[in-house]
Structure 1
Amino acid sequence: MSDEHRRSSTTDFDIEGLPASVQTLYQVMLGINPDFSIQQWLEQKADEDLMLIERDLERERIHLAQKIHRIDQLSSRSKKEVAELPLGQKNLFDCFDLSETMTHLRERHEVRDDDDFAHPASVFLNLMQDEGADDPLLAITAQKILVLAEARKDKIEPWITTKELFKILGKQEISEKECEEAIDYLIMSHQLFEIEEDCFVAED
């Protein structure tokens, strides 16, 4: 590379100090446009990337805002269902023969101070076996699926199908994808078992 090209005419960049791929690009661009400025090119690329990042962040912000809204709706609905239980009526934990693990998780939640929770949906997080789980929507969906599966234990056909879950949870604005993610979580944590294709039973 000639001395006059070792530095861009419009920048203090030391071209030879840049990675080989950038040097190659610089030489190619000089062949196309003798007035090519690597500084202007970098500034243009930075501006373009910043615009893309800004759009991605805005898209993610909207997605999270929608998710928080849905979590609030699900949490409020769940709290309302519990509040409307007639006096003396058993709650879901008493109605179903929950596994030892779930009973332990319930006890762990009951000894917690309610003031520790910043959001009502946190009650569902304490029902998840994975201490690192921090997705309230996953926790809510997983718990709803487990409750539905537990309710089938004493039936003639003691299983629940994916189609049934999609239909029931779909009415609560839970998507099929979110339902599948919760099923996968429950299977991996050994709280739900697939006895046949798309047929699930709760842990005994």
Structure 2
Amino acid sequence: MEHGPRDRKESSRIDVRVLPDSVARLWETMLRLDPNWDLSKWLDERALDELELVEGHLGRERLRLEQRLHRIETLVKRLKRQREVAGEAVITDPNQRNLFDVYENNQANLEKEDTSIDSLPEGDAMVDFGSLGFDDDPLIAIVSEH
């Protein structure tokens, strides 16, 4: 379907009946204020304004993502340098305990000794702290025994 100059002019006309009520009210109000007001021109201006806003938003988003990427790359480089400096040595916390290691140690101790409640001398603790020190949580020791 070819559009001649006359068809283009007619296609730019907007039928008020197909528009939402709010747009139709705006159109009527603006025509009362300015009889030369054109909805098509107004929509074109609003669309251009909206595109500028979107472009600005996308620019800010791009900048934010570039900054985040830079921070991530910097972290990767720093971690790589730390790993190279540390070599093969693993950084461990001497105070850190693994619950399963404690459990395995307690199981080994239980297999070595037959300790029942009756065989314990009075004054000894009911809970074998194993490799846990007295400053560690006794609840973990109890859970690791059972």
Task: Report the TM-score range of the alignment, normalised by the length of the smaller protein.
Answer: 0.5 to 0.7
| 1:79 has 2:76 as partner | no
Q: CA deviation at 1:32?
A: 1.0
1:25 equivalent to 2:8? Answer: no
The 3 A distance-change label for structure 1 pair 13 and 90 is same
Amino acid at match of 2:91: N
Contact conserved, 1:15 with 1:23, CA < 8 A, in 2? Answer: yes
Conserved? CA contact 1:10–1:39, under 8 Å: no
- In 2 relative to 1, CA 31–99 (structure 1 residues): closer, same or farther, beyond 3 Å? farther
Q: In structure 1, what is the Cα distance between the partners aligned to 2:60 and 2:39?
A: 31
Using the TM superposition, give the Cα deviation of residue 12 of structure 1 relative to its aligned residue in structure 2, in angstroms: 1.9
1:37 matched to 2:59? The reply is no
TM-score normalised per structure 2? 0.55
Residue-pair matches, total? 93
Conservation of the 8 A alpha-carbon contact between 1:10 and 1:37: no
Bigger Rg over Cα: 2
Q: Which has the higher strand share?
A: 1
Any residues of structure 2 matched to 1:74-113 within 5 Å, and which?
74-87=75-88, 89-92=89-92, 96-97=96-97
Question: Displacement of 1:78 after TM fit?
Answer: 1.1
Q: Counterpart amino acid of 1:30?
A: L
Could you tell me how far apart the structure 2 residues matched to 1:32 and 1:10 are? 25
Q: Structure 2 stretches of 5 or more lacking a match?
A: 1-9, 101-132, 136-146
RMSD: 3.0
Give 1:11 deviation, angstroms.
Answer: 3.1
Residues 29-68 of structure 1 deviation map (CA, whole Å, 9 limit, x = unaligned): 0111101111001100000000000011011111111111
**Scaled by the length of structure 1, what TM-score is found?**
0.40
Q: Percent identity?
A: 29
